């Protein structure tokens, strides 16, 4: 056992030395390899982190939301609907919600206005998310102005800044009192943005949703699990799609690797010939090629992963966030919660290291089976 290890050590030493002797060639391979892994890993980390953020948001979401639509478009829902839905068996509570968006033309940003059910600010006061606080440079006690639905400005004083545990959720949030919201948005007193339901038995979600549609044909019930699955499918689908497009690039890399591996320089071919002539065996050379591949793959893999990790979780994915997020760059900077799992690492491994290795097997074997007496001819 020790003997075998010692032998491997010798071969590994020799391999590293010969890799370092050909810095130019191996450096360019390593750079391309690292870049591929970096992009792939960034896509995966980023979409997954977004998915987690979305799940976080939805954990707070009620089980069923009822909206009203008119010819397919969203409409405020009359409060009277709440009473009719409350009569359906299995429904525990029905709560109207008031919320909407506000576009701040001066700062080119969208805010989300919400009337909280618990601990609402008193009229004239608001709570704001950290993102708004940052771009408006507004802090507790400051007065902040917005333009209402009628074009008239309204001033609010800031009660507090919301904690930014998950910035993606709360960065753009404004909590406002019901009276202020109705005045600000112009929604009439007998209407709400939508209704949220609590249901006793999760198995009844679909049945209750059906009953609501029958009872109130212009309403649209949305079940939470449905949203979760849609989100998930959309994010997975997006990263899958990017990967498909990206595999064209990966393919180019494989061709590149193939070229590097088959196009053994005359120098290298001679070197392997010498090794075989002085007493190396085919499997020793294969071993050397294995170490060579492992050293390159491992370096590229670690480097690519670390760069991607830094890119996504510390540098806000500045390179391609706009493409993947799919909405306007609302937050000048936001931090995703770092999270990597076995699945990511293995998926990246299979999408890069495996194709690289597979393309190098045959050329390595060809090089390793040079006749030992070739250098004598």
Partner 1 sequence: MILHPSILALFVSSLLICLMVLYSTVYGIQILRRWDIASGSESQLALERKTYLISTIVSYFLGFQLVSLFLFIFTADSICHLFVGAMCAVGTLTVNPFGYPTLLLKVVTFLLAGFWLILNHADSLGYDYPLIRTKYLLLVVMAPFILAETVIQGIYFLGLRPDIITSCCGSLFSPASRGIATEIVNAPPLPMLALFYASSGGTLLCGAWFLARGRGGGLFALLNAVQLVVALTAIISVISLYIYQMPSHHCPFCILQQEYHFVGYPVYIALFGAAICGFGAGWLSRYQGIASLAEDLPGLCRALTVVSMACTAILVAIASGYVLLTGFTLR
Partner 2 sequence: MISARDITKTFNAGKPNEFTAVSEVTLAIDFHRVTILKGPSGSGKTTLLGIVGCMSRPTSGRIFLGEREITSLPERFLTDIRRRTFGFIFQQFNLIKGLTVLDNVMTPAYPTSERFPSLRKRALETLALFNLEHKADAKVEWLSGGEAQRTAIARSLINNPSIIIADEPTAHLDTKLSHEFMAIMRRLKGEGKTIILSSHDPIVYDSDLADSVVEMRDGRIVSSGPRP
Residues that bind partner 2 (CB under 8 A): 2-4, 6-7, 9-11, 13-14, 17-18, 21, 267, 270-271, 273-275, 277-284, 371-373, 375-377
Q: Which is nearer to partner 1, 145 or 202 (CB)?
A: 202
Under a CB-based contact definition with an 8 Å cutoff, are residues 34 and 303 in contact? yes
Residues 4-43 within binding reach of partner 1 (CB under 8 A):
43
Partner in contact with 14, chosen from partner 1, partner 2, none, beta carbon below 5 to 8 Å by kind: partner 2
In this complex, which beta carbon is closest to partner 1, that of residue 36 or of residue 43?
43
Angstrom distances, CA of residue 271 to CA of 16, 29, 257, 280, 359: 15, 20, 20, 11, 22
- E strand or H helix at 351, and its extent? none
> Among 347, 372, 374, 375, which residue interacts with partner 1 (rule: CB under 8 A)?
347
Q: Which is nearer to partner 1, 323 or 362 (CB)?
A: 362
Distance CA(218)–CA(75), nearest Å, equals 10
Strand blocks (E) in the chain: 64-70, 73-75, 77-78, 91-97, 99-104, 109-114, 125-128, 143-147, 153-161, 173-176, 191-192, 194-199, 219-223
3-class DSSP state of 343: helix
> Residue 260 CB, nearest distance to partner 2 (Å)?
19
Least CB distance from residue 263 to partner 1, whole Å? 19
Q: Residue 21 or 366: which CB sits closer to partner 2?
A: 21
In whole angstroms, give the CA distance from residue 328 to residue 326: 7
| Paired sense of beta strands 77-78 and 219-223, if any | unpaired
DSSP symbol at 338? P
Which residues have C-beta within 8 Å of that of residue 369, sequence separation ≥ 6? Answer: 282
Residues 281-310 that bind partner 1 (CB under 8 A): 282-283, 286
Q: Which does 182 bind (CB under 5 to 8 A by kind): partner 2, partner 1, none?
A: none
292: nearest Cα among 24, 22, 34, 41:
22
Residue 294 tokens read as 């492992």
CB of 131 to partner 1, least distance (A): 29
Using CB under 8 A as the binding rule, the residues of this chain from 221 to 250 that contact partner 1 are 228-229, 232-233, 236-237, 239-241, 243-244, 247
Partner that binds at residue 245, options partner 2, partner 1, none, CB closer than 5 to 8 Å by kind:
none
Q: Per-residue x/- marks for partner 1, 323-342, CB under 8 A?
A: -------------------x
Per-residue tokens: 372: 């030992």
Residue 173 interface partner, choices partner 2, partner 1, none, CB cut-off 5-8 Å depending on type: none
Asked if 363 is part of the footprint of partner 1 (rule: CB under 8 A), the reply reads no
Binding partner at 232 among partner 2, partner 1, none, C-beta below 5 to 8 Å by kind: partner 1
Indicate which of partner 2, partner 1, none lies near residue 280 (CB less than 5 to 8 Å, by partner kind). partner 2
Q: Residue 82 CA to chain centroid, in angstroms? A: 37
Based on CB atoms, which residue is closest to partner 2, 1 or 248? 1
CB atoms within 10 A of CB 291: 18
By beta-carbon proximity to partner 2, the closer residue of 189 and 376 is 376
Partners of 93 in the β-ladder: 198
List contacts with partner 1 (CB under 8 A).
43-44, 228-229, 232-233, 236-237, 239-241, 243-244, 247, 282-283, 286, 342-344, 346-351, 354-355, 357-358, 361-362, 364-365, 368-369
């Amino acid at each position: 056992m020790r003997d075998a290890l010692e032998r491997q050590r010798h071969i590994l030493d020799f391999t590293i030395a010969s890799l370092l002797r050909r810095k130019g060639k191996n450096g360019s391979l390593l750079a391309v390899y690292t870049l591929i892994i970096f992009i792939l890993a960034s896509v995966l980390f980023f979409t997954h982190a977004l998915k987690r953020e979305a799940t976080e948001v939805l954990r707070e979401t009620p089980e069923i939301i009822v909206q009203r639509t008119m010819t397919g478009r969203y409409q405020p829902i009359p409060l009277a609907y709440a009473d009719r839905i409350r009569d359906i068996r299995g429904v525990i509570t029905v709560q109207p919600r008031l919320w909407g968006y506000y576009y701040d033309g001066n700062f080119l940003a969208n805010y989300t206005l919400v009337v909280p059910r618990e601990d609402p600010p008193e009229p004239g006061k608001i709570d704001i998310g950290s993102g708004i606080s940052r771009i408006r440079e507004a802090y507790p006690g400051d007065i902040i102005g917005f333009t209402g639905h009628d074009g008239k400005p309204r001033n609010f004083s800031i009660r507090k800044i919301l904690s930014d545990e998950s910035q993606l959720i709360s960065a753009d949030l404004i909590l406002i009192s019901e009276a202020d919201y109705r005045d600000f948005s112009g929604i009439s007193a007998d209407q709400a943005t939508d209704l949220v339901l609590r249901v006793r038995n999760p198995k009844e979600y679909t049945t209750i949703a059906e009953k609501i549609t029958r009872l109130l044909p212009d309403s649209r019930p949305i079940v939470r699990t449905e949203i979760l699955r849609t989100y998930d499918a959309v994010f997975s689908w997006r990263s899958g799609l990017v990967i498909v497009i990206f595999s064209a690039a990966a393919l180019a890399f494989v061709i590149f690797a193939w070229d590097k591996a088959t196009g053994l320089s005359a120098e290298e071919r001679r070197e392997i010939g010498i090794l075989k002539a002085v007493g190396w065996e085919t499997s020793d050379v294969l071993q050397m090629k294995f170490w060579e591949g492992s050293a390159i793959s491992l370096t590229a893999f670690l480097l690519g992963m670390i760069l991607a990790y830094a890119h996504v979780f510390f540098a806000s994915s500045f390179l391609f966030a706009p493409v993947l997020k799919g909405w306007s760059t609302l937050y000048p900077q936001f931090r995703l919660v770092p999270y990597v799992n076995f699945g990511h690492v293995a998926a990246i491994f299979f999408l890069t290291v495996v194709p690289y290795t597979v393309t190098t097997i045959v050329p390595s074997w060809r090089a390793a089976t040079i006749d030992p007496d070739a250098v004598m001819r």
